Structure 1
Amino acid sequence: MYRSIFPRDVFAELDRLQREMQQAIETGPSIRGIGRGGFPALNVGGTQQSVELYAFAPGLDPASIEVQLERGVLTISGERAADLPGENQKAAVHINERFAGPFRRVVNLPEDDVNPSGVSAQYKDGVLHISIKRRESAQPRRISIQ
């Protein structure tokens, strides 16, 4: 008989290869920075007056979250406790997809664009909202034509 150079199930092998490539892309650096797929998930955007950051971290105590802004680097760190039964209890865990443990996310901001004294943070319904005011010199202004 003839023997193929490909595995028996070519489509399963292609699917495996695609998953491995996707994981490599998701954990590698991107044009927007490193950390895609990390915890907490982030949305970063802005207005003319401020930079707005939303960190999606449900189930955390706001006192366990630390936010720092130093030289244009915003750091969000903390720890999420595991909600699994203890080792001494007679229970089996079949699937555990929820992240537990220490976390740290870092966002680089233009240092000359943000005002470190104009930072506010609020945690509500599992979403940490951080608003950082822009410097007056970095805000766009309309120039009238004479």
Structure 2
Amino acid sequence: MYRSMFPSDVFAEMDRLQRAMQQAFELSPNIRGVGRGGFPALNVGGTPNSVEVYAFAPGLDPQSIQIQLEKSTLSIAGERKSDEPAADQKTAIHIDERFAGPFRRVISLPDDIDNEAVSATYRDGVLHVSVKRRQAAAPRRITIE
């Protein structure tokens, strides 16, 4: 009987490895495109009056999150403490998928934002940062005499 040296679904394993490699080289998301991976997960969008950033970071103390806006760059940084039990000879961890440790996400924002009009709230594990846009001169119609 024939016995393969490879896993039964080698193509699925190759696909998984390719996705992992792509995620390792992706940059932080900006207003023009969203990357995958990273903590906290981000949603970035906008309205005609503001840019809205949602960071999904459950279990964090809002006081431990630092938000900084410099020119057109928004950075969100902090640290998530580990919930793992103390290491001893009787403790075994079989799967550890929850991120723990320091994090930093940087988002490029459009040039028309107002650095003085920024607000941030944290509720139910979601950090919401709203950055207002500068009011541009409204277009007006000029009549010909």
Normalising by structure 1, we get a TM-score of 0.82
**Backbone CA RMSD of aligned residues:** 2.4
Task: Please name the residue that 1:4 is paired with.
Answer: none
Q: Is the 8 A contact 1:27 1:36 kept in 2?
A: no
Separation in 2 of the partners of 1:39 and 1:61? 15
- Superposed, 1:31-110 pairs within 5 Å as 32=33, 36-88=36-88, 90-110=90-110
Percent of aligned positions that are identical: 52
Output one character per residue of 1:8-45: Cα deviation in whole Å (capped at 9) or x when no partner: 55752211111111112233337726x52100000000
SS at match of 1:136: coil
Separation in 2 of the partners of 1:12 and 1:131? 45
Q: Is the 8 A contact 1:51 1:133 kept in 2?
A: yes
SS at match of 2:42: strand
Output one character per residue of 1:28-75: Cα deviation in whole Å (capped at 9) or x when no partner: 337726x52100000000111000000000000000100000011100
Distance change in 2, residues 1:109/1:86 (3 Å): same
Q: Is the 8 A contact 1:119 1:132 kept in 2?
A: yes
Q: Which runs of 5+ in 1 are unaligned?
A: 1-6
SS at match of 1:93: coil
Q: Which runs of 5+ in 2 are unaligned?
A: none
- The count of residues paired between Structure 1 and Structure 2 equals 137
Stretches (4+) displaced over 6 A: none
